[in-house]
């Protein structure tokens, strides 16, 4: 990668009641290669109490950060609008700064990303943003490889090799997902492949329709063309929607960008249908319909609805009638056009941490 110093990167993380995950993620980031240089911006969606706990954990004796005075213009870091408090820290052992913002309410994943994007676009000294899930722990060269692929391949959005956290020799996905139109769902590329196995980057890039939201690098030029994430999704499918919009800028895969990812620690999303949180079940079902309405040809929308109902039945077959009802509620909400933050009892679930279930957090989107 030529002229590495020029590629200053903004790292964006959305947190929700999970300070331990964030601390582990930032500890991993503190070991990143010197270049490209980066600063970190976090949006805490869990309210003021969670915000204070996160700040204390990060700047505590065992935390990855130290307390400093901010060095960005007050207009950028001052609380306003959707962000009611902002504090500035620094990563130990490097020059990277860290700003933590407390959201006025739960903005969802897309809103948590956008609330920082809308502030940072006024600055011209960064070339791209790296969106990371808080339960990921990237290897030291992960960011370098992403930026290198974006520059060398002229790609607007680039994904990493996402590794299974419990077995870092096994791939969870390579870059992201491909869109199966007739199935109206995304399927993972490279699942369960050995991490050190042969890789055909061009073949994978030709198949990519969606970059994994666990680690996605977006160039500033691409961002300025496609705009921010669509907050109507709130959570799930927002990264898939963003990726499809970014295809005209080129989707890339950086095979050497290794990012172990726990998956599911924030929202209680697991591979087991019986253990998934009701919120994740509801939003996956609802947003599958929203995604289909936005990206499918009108003639295929009835098929998407039928398949959406069949997907809900899988919960019954797995022995989870409660999650079947929740998925059905989400499907109906999608058909009615509900967007943004869910209502009724799903709102109540957003106000507290998700229960720990199996391999807990925000899993990959699958509209």
Q: What is the pLDDT of residue 293?
A: 87
Burial of 272 (0-12, 13-18, 19+ CB in 10 A): exposed
Give this prediction's pTM.
0.88
**Chain segment 82-128, per-residue pLDDT in tens:** 999 999 999 999 989 999 999 999 999 999 999 999 999 988 889 99
CA distance 87 to 102: 9
| Pair (50, 189) in one structural domain | yes
- DSSP secondary structure letters along 190-217: STT-BTTS---HHHHHHH-SEE-TTEEE
CA distance 68 to 98: 10
> Is residue 110 a part of any domain in this protein?
yes
| Pair (9, 148) in one structural domain | yes
| Pair (50, 133) in one structural domain | yes
Segment 18-27 shows an average pLDDT of 96
Backbone angles phi, psi at 278, to 5 degrees: -65, -35
Tell me which residue range forms the domain holding 314.
278-350
Burial of 81 (0-12, 13-18, 19+ CB in 10 A): exposed
Considering its fold, how many domains does the chain have in total? Answer: 2
| Pair (178, 322) in one structural domain | no
Final residue of a structural domain among 214, 233, 261:
261
Cis peptide before 60 (omega within 30 of 0): no
Under 8 Å between Cβ of 212 and 162 = yes
Is the pLDDT at 286 greater than 60, yes or no?
yes
Q: What is the pLDDT of residue 77?
A: 62
- Could you tell me the CATH number of the domain that includes residue 220? 3.90.550.60
Backbone angles phi, psi at 149, to 5 degrees: -70, -40
Span of 59-63, 216-220, 292-296 with lowest mean pLDDT:
292-296
């Amino acid at each position: 990668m030529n002229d590495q110093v020029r590629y200053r990167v903004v790292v964006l993380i959305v947190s929700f009641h999970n300070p331990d995950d964030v601390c582990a993620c930032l500890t991993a980031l503190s070991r990143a290669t010197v270049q490209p240089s980066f600063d970190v911006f976090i949006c805490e969606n869990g309210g003021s109490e969670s915000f204070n706990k996160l700040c204390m954990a990060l700047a505590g004796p065992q935390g990855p950060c130290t307390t400093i005075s901010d060095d960005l213009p007050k207009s950028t870091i001052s609380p306003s609008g959707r962000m009611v408090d902002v504090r500035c820290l620094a990563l130990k052992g490097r020059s990277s700064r860290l700003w933590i913002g407390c959201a006025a309410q739960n903005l969802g994943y897309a809103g948590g990303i956008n609330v920082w994007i809308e502030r940072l676009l006024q600055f011209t000294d960064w070339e791209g943003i790296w969106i990371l899930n808080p339960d990921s722990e990237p290897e030291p060269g992960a960011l370098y490889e992403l930026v290198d692929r974006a520059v060398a391949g002229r790609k607007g959005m680039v994904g990493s090799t996402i590794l299974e956290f419990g077995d870092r020799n096994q791939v969870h996905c390579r870059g992201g997902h491909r869109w199966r139109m007739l199935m109206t769902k995304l399927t993972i590329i490279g699942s369960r492949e050995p991490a050190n196995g042969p890789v055909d980057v061009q073949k994978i890039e030709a198949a990519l329709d969606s970059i994994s939201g666990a680690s996605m690098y977006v160039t500033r030029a691409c961002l300025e063309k496609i705009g921010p994430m669509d907050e109507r999704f709130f959570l799930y499918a927002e990264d898939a929607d963003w990726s499809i919009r970014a295809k005209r800028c080129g989707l890339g895969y950086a095979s050497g960008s290794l990012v172990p990812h726990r998956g599911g620690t924030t929202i209680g999303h697991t591979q087991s249908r019986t253990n998934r949180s009701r919120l994740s079940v509801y939003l996956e079902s609802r947003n599958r319909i929203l995604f289909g309405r936005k990206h499918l040809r009108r003639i295929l929308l009835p098929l998407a609805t039928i398949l959406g109902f069949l997907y809900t039945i899988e919960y019954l077959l797995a022995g989870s009638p409660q999650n079947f009802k929740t998925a059905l509620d989400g499907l109906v909400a999608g058909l009615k056009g509900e967007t943004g933050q869910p209502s009724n009892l799903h709102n109540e679930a957003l106000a507290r941490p998700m229960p720990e279930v199996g391999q807990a957090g925000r899993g990959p989107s699958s509209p």
